[in-house]
Structure 1
Amino acid sequence: MKIQVRFFARYREALGLDALEIEGAFACVDDVRQALLARDGAAVLAEQNLMCARNEDLCQLDEPLADGDEVAFFPTVTGG
């Protein structure tokens, strides 16, 4: 299965890229995150307050995936 992964805000800065395509057997968004955590420099994705989306809809890490889905990771936004 191929998944397009996008990174936003400081995750994009920490990883040094906007997007990538990843292949593997991913049942849910967290499987993609775990695969990325195994890569050098992706420790930022281990944050507890990480937000994610599947096909531009906010979701939880246990959101099921299908071939061709887009997953996005971004930090929580705070305002004041």
Structure 2
Amino acid sequence: MKKHKIIISLIDRIGKHACHRGHKIGDKFDFDTDRGKLCPMAMHVAFPYIDILRYGGMPPCSSNGDIRFCCPDADVINVFRLEMVK
């Protein structure tokens, strides 16, 4: 079974402080090739969603119909979107 490409995009920031890793809204990461570039804490949160997508499941969607997750840093709270490219 071929794994689909997963793109992680930073789409918003809710917290009051800038990202400690330097991520900015508009940054995009390929799950397979950019793993060392994405903050390890954000990747830790993203992985279960990505695992569900890659094995044919569907994680919960936002009110916009896309798949989102947040950075676990309470001062930053970056909001990321996952897209599966078939």
- If the length of structure 1 is used for normalisation, what is the TM-score? 0.33
The structure where helix makes up a greater share of residues is: 1
Bigger Rg over Cα = 2
- If the length of structure 2 is used for normalisation, what is the TM-score? 0.32
